[in-house]
Structure 1
């Protein structure tokens, strides 16, 4: 990490860390507070608090809209632009940011003879407050067993498999770039650090990184990551960078004791589960990826044409409707194979795709087909419902089995997500009478 102004042997100068710590919060968090305050962080009217869903930030007193409540100087950020770590610069070396940043975090943890519960002797208080590997293993599908994943939704399962592959590639890269150059970490430590980077980094792009892909512009920020996620971006605090550091500013007023949120973006609960290891009980952005049930409605020739259209991508269903992409895929599916590639029927569909024909006009011309499309949407919703119920049933059997006793937390998380999907489907069917 970058060099920091070391606090004197007496108590830290400036604000007392106790002012920013609610009762019941473990002592290890006080050490981090002392560390950031001693290194020119500024906190205003906020406290770290122990909440029903974990550690978070609450208002210590009334906070007004547009108040700056946190400033973390650039020197405290943990990223490959600033840390003194060999062969870590994506500019100067063919390195992967996620891989190398995880190697750095793992190497810092490795220096501690204890674990990351605060008992270690390393000089990085930030490392000590990070979640344990066990917490990641129970919450993130990436670490779930094949038996649990086999009964998750198709999208969660496929994304977790991709993550497993990326973790393997990054681990090999980390060994090649850093492990063979004297940087020490164990495989288990690296997996933990990789999950830390995946779940806790935020976007950061210094000028020197202008050629680095956006997805590689990652930084860890002590204290900022205490702020939990809320889906409503227009009410959550804004997080902004400047040349001197990172600021959190309110977009609404807060009463004393009220939790303060930032937003990671408008993601559905599948995305939140696989990327961060949690779902939101109430998520206005929640929906279900229904590719698994939509794409089989298209013949190989239909799928070939679908891939050439601007509507290719993921299909979704929410409480009210299916997305326009789903409707376009199924409108293509009802066109006979003999009409594909030529003739008025397919030509009108292409006009609709390219915006040369209004949807109302198209629906009027092919009203009978639209009825078939609506029936297919109902079939897709029903197929998703049946698969969800079957998944829940299998997972509940596993939960009862002694064989999977040590996986109960991940099984409960998988069941919880399926039940959210069932709720979405039920509300959709009720609103659309199918």
Structure 2
């Protein structure tokens, strides 16, 4: 990658604020909304979750419509070796993600392997079963995993607070990121609990 004069001065906004194009004449920036004098014009660096923005760019956003949390550790620890091999063969081992609305299809596949008989699971994987019949069991397991996730997040925040290394600003940023993850997880827990009551 190379530095682009002026372009590198734009901060990131999850929804952008201007359209960026690159062609033979160079970069062009066109605003996508009306700005008042003194307003900051932002560009979107891409559809990135908070972890990516923290690691690649060194910041955490208060609001990020593309935010997500990785659930691999929680899901994978529930699977035995045979189940992991089955998921690997089907192309669904790992990359289990919770975003602002729901968990990804990959997560649904993995959780169904823990809740369903193999035949029903295979029909879901190949698309001949929509998974409606097993969704209640999947949601119950997901709720259990997400509650475990909240405990893990709280533990991670406490470990960061006790760190002797690093600057306070760095610790605050890490704690802020963990709190965002907790917020994502809690929102999904609340949604699942509401669905269960209805």
Q: TM-score, normalised by structure 2?
A: 0.88
- Equivalence for 1:383: 148
1:293 aligns with: 74
Residue 416 of structure 1 corresponds to which residue in structure 2? 176
User: Of residues 418, 421, 425 in structure 1, which corresponds to 2:185?
Assistant: 425
Cα offsets for 1:298-337 (capped at 9, x unmatched): 11011011012243441112344222211111101234xx
Give the gaps of 5 or more residues in structure 2.
none
What are the equivalent positions in structure 2 for 1:20-419 lying under 5 Å apart? Answer: 218-233=1-16, 236-335=17-116, 345-355=117-127, 357-359=128-130, 362-364=131-133, 367=134, 370-398=135-163, 403-404=164-165, 406-419=166-179
Q: Which runs of 4+ in 1 moved over 4 A?
A: none
Distance in structure 2 (CA, Å) of the matches to 1:331 and 1:316:
15
Q: RMSD of aligned C-alpha atoms? A: 2.0
Structure of larger gyration radius:
1
Aligned counterpart, 1:183: none
Matched residues in 2 for 1:269 and 1:352: separation? 31
**Helix, strand or coil for the counterpart of 1:308?**
helix
Contact 1:320-1:432 at 8 Å conserved across structures: no
- Cα deviation for residue 372 of structure 1 reads 3.1
How far apart are residue 378 of structure 1 and its match? 1.3
Q: Distance in 2 between matches of 1:227 and 1:372?
A: 46
Q: Residue 281 of structure 1: CA displacement?
A: 0.1
**Cα distance in 2, alignment partners of residues 352 and 424 from structure 1:** 26
**Distance of aligned partners of 1:380 and 1:302 in 2 relative to their CA distance in 1, 3 Å threshold:** same
Q: Are 1:299 and 1:333, in contact at CA under 8 Å, matched by a contact in 2?
A: no
Q: C-alpha separation between the residues in 2 aligned to 1:407 and 1:227?
A: 26
Shift of 1:244: 2.6
TM-score w.r.t. length of structure 1: 0.42
Q: How far apart, CA to CA, are the structure 1 residues paired with 2:56 and 2:102?
A: 25
Q: Assess, with a 3 A threshold, how the Cα gap between structure 1 residues 348 and 393 changes in structure 2: closer, same or farther.
A: closer
